[in-house]
Amino acid sequence: MRLLYSGKTKDVYEDGPYLIFHFKDTVLGRKGKEDSGGNEVVGEKTGKGSVVLKQTEFFFKLLEENGIKTHFVERIDERKARFLKAERIPLEVIYRELAYGSFLRRYRGWVRQFHPLGIVEFTLKDDFLDDPLIAEDAVVALGIASGEDIEKMKETTRKVAKILREFFSLKGLQLVDFKLEFGRLDGELLIIDELSGDTMRVAKDERFLTREELLEVIG
């Protein structure tokens, strides 16, 4: 295996037609505090990488069972998993069921916490620029993705939202928001990277579930 990338939360290795992700115990946040929407490493939690991988395996399999294609192949051990090698699109696609986090900071005074939204946003995946919000027309103009790609990503993201909303609703929980990444494989778009407590917020009575509590929910 050849190390392709050592990131803040995972190391990525090339293994023939596959990628091997090694999930780290690092925790992200902003201004020294843990925040799933943050881009800086603020500490470590023993076992966190294993928790995130178990959640990613569960949610990617849930999506596959409902007709949403992902690049997940199999879990290798507690910290490593095999994925199909896809061409990453440098965007984060954010679904906001309710207003929270950066949306509140961006539009403070215009929206209250947990206001219903049901919207899809795009940010440019660039840590140096702190993942800025990007207009759909700019995505096309910069050659990042086509207009057709954008519509497909939005459509798929809304399908994922419906799947997650129904799953959590049956357990008395409220989906707040989540983010996805997409890649291309053989000309087809599919969901890549991860889907876990690091990339979604779920609440009960307006209190967010911890990663560990989310793990208990999925069994």
Position 34 scores a pLDDT of 76
Domain residues for the domain of 185 are 87-218
Looking at the structure of the chain, the number of domains it has is 2
Q: Are residues 153 and 47 in the same domain?
A: no
- Cα 36 to Cα 3, 18, 177: the distances in Å are 25, 27, 11
Angle in degrees, 0-180, between the axes of helices 48-65 and 147-169, rounded to the nearest 10:
100
Q: Are residues 96 and 49 in the same domain?
A: no
> Model confidence over 119-154: pLDDT tens digits?
999 999 998 999 999 999 999 999 999 999 999 999
Nearest-angstrom CA–CA distance, 172 and 61: 21
Last residue of a domain, one of 43, 68, 84: 84
The b/e string for 161-174 (b: 16+ C-beta within 10 A; e otherwise) is bebbbebbeeeebb
Q: Are residues 39 and 118 in the same domain?
A: no
Q: Are residues 122 and 33 in the same domain?
A: no
Q: Are residues 17 and 96 in the same domain?
A: no
Position 42 scores a pLDDT of 77
Q: Are residues 175 and 202 in the same domain?
A: yes
Last residue of a domain, one of 62, 84, 106: 84
Output the pTM of the full model: 0.94
49's torsion region: left (phi>0), alpha (psi -120 to 50) or beta?
A: alpha
Position 78 scores a pLDDT of 94
Q: How many CA atoms lie within 13 A of 65 on its CB side?
A: 9
Range list of β-strands (E), the chain: 2-6, 10-15, 18-23, 26-30, 33-34, 40-44, 72-75, 80-84, 87-88, 91-98, 116-124, 174-185, 188-192, 200-204, 207-208
Cβ-proximal residues to 16 (8 Å cutoff; 6+ apart), any chain: none
Position 37 scores a pLDDT of 67
Nearest-angstrom CA–CA distance, 149 and 124: 15
Last residue of a domain, one of 84, 107, 124: 84
Give the domain CATH number at 142. Answer: 3.30.470.20
Residues of the chain with pLDDT under 70: 32, 36-37
Backbone angles phi, psi at 210, to 5 degrees: -75, 170
Q: Are residues 54 and 92 in the same domain?
A: no
**Type of residue at 1:** M
Cβ-proximal residues to 163 (8 Å cutoff; 6+ apart), any chain: 62, 63, 66, 68
Nearest-angstrom CA–CA distance, 22 and 10: 5
Q: Are residues 95 and 199 in the same domain?
A: yes
Q: Are residues 41 and 143 in the same domain?
A: no
Position 29 scores a pLDDT of 78
Give the domain CATH number at 66. Answer: 3.30.200.20
